[in-house]
A and B are shown apart, each in its own frame.
Chain A
Amino acid sequence: MTDMSSSSNVRVVGLLLKDSSTGQIVLLAHYVDDMS
């Protein structure tokens, strides 16, 4: 988190899930890449 900055381009790699209780889409990811 400390390496992240606003407006930077990132890629989050992970599993896309739907929260069964809220219906929200949740992403469980292994890592974040800085794409800037």
Chain B
Amino acid sequence: MNSTVLASTCRKAIVVLPLAAILAVGCSGGSNSSSTPQNNSTTGPAFVVGTDAPLASVVSFAVQLKSIDAIDASGNSVPLLSGTPTVDFAHYNGLQALVDINDVPVGTYNSVSITLGTGTIGYLNTQIVGAPAVQTEAATMTQSTVTTTLSSPLVITHGGAPVGLRVDLDMSKSIETDANGQITGQVTPTFNVNAYSNTDSHCYIDELVAAVVSVNASGQSFVVQGPHGEQFTINVNGQTEWEGNDSLNSLSTSSIVQVSGAIDAADQTMDADDVAIISQNSFFAGGQVTYVQPESGPATSFDLYVDSLLPSATGLSLGQIAQVDLTGSEKFLIYWMHNPLTQFLFNSSQLVAGQSVTIGGPSSGAANAQAVTVNRISLRHWGFDGTIVANSINSSQNTFQMNINGFAGVLGPQTVTYMLREEQDIVMASMV
């Protein structure tokens, strides 16, 4: 994937942190200094960001990252992962998320070796009558280790700002399909790996979803923990925006939050620009709407492909399609949009297949995956991939059309008209 961002519309990268993996983001270019691994006592911060180029109908490609090692010119290697997390690359859908951040020996690293463990492919079967279903099969890796030479070295310094890797799995090149487009199960891991610094705009974390561990009101911060146990301190200030009129005082150890912000130079710390409380009752799930009933008018239920979940011990499980029943009392929110218009833009009548949402509520409402009840439903960002239709770009109207190739194209309309509103730094699109 060429990650070049159209400058006129790109303000920052959006990062969704799946609950299946705590991600650390960074983008770089490296520094001018050069060094080689010395000893374990001289270290600097390094992070790993995961992303992907999606493949239509593939809703999950969960694979164990056994190791990601940085290698210097002398062949010395250092691990960038502290564990062996299982990461669902399909969940990223082009977004970036933090995989890990650790202190590693300072040095100049020219290549990266990634070793994968077992993996599972989940894809959407829309050929059946009624609601789509997810089918899964084990991935057969044609190779488990991939070594990539970095175009710009990863330079880790002691006391310097965090630097790290952006690990981009090109699923369309990695997951093999046959002549009929059917997934065969064969996977040839194809990565694009680049080094970045934490100040790069592509490293901005738009969505970190995690449970609140503690709140420091006087210090204007709180600590969160993701499903793999890694904790982050979230700094807030007067510029931090809170969704739904919430504030630092609204947080408790039962809260699950979604945070946008940048990685701070301090260890395991993030500076929040926006905070949304997506659950006050210790239960959260996120994913894509795959089916809405009825097709028009206020929805009474919708199906949700679950790609993130907290806690794991509920009636729901990752990779399944759950049914969320609506009573009419749910609170609808739009992430990064908190004004009076929100209630008109997203409610039970505005649910459509292809939306990416989070749901939150009491754990008791999540006991049965086919009858989930929640208090909050939040609309979140998602990536829509496609090809611009020839001669459709209208600069005066700021519009263009594209054919959607990815997951959303499987769920909904495949021809889309987009309208760019650059003065608002947003893009509008209407599907036809």
Contacts and interface: CB of A to CB of B under 8 A. Distances in A.
Tell me if chain B binds chain A. yes
Interface of A: 1-20, 24-36
Among all A-B residue pairs, the 10 with the closest Cβ atoms: A27-B429, A29-B427, A25-B431, A31-B10, A6-B390, A18-B350, A3-B6, A24-B430, A13-B383, A34-B4
B14 interface: yes
A25 to B, nearest CB: 4
B134 interface: no
A11 B94 contact: yes
Given A20-B345, A25-B429, A32-B5, 13 more contacts: A1-B398, A1-B420, A6-B388, A8-B388, A9-B386, A15-B380, A18-B349, A25-B352, A28-B337, A31-B6, A31-B10, A32-B427, A35-B385
Q: Is the interface of A mostly helix, strand, loop or mixed?
A: strand
Interface stretch (B249-257, B302-310, B410-418): B410-418
A10 B11 CA distance: 16
Given A32-B10, A33-B94, A13 B334 contact: no
Given A16-B355, A24-B431, A4 B350 contact: no
B426 A29 contact: yes
Contacts of B37: none
Interface residues of B, number: 67
Contacts of B418: 12, 27
A31 B421 CA distance: 11
Q: Is the interface of B mostly helix, strand, loop or mixed?
A: loop
A33 to B, nearest CB: 5
Contact of A14 (B4, B7, B381, B432): B381
Interface of B: 1-14, 53, 94-95, 206, 334-337, 344-346, 349-352, 354-356, 379-393, 395, 398, 400, 402, 405, 408, 412-413, 416, 418, 420, 422, 425-432
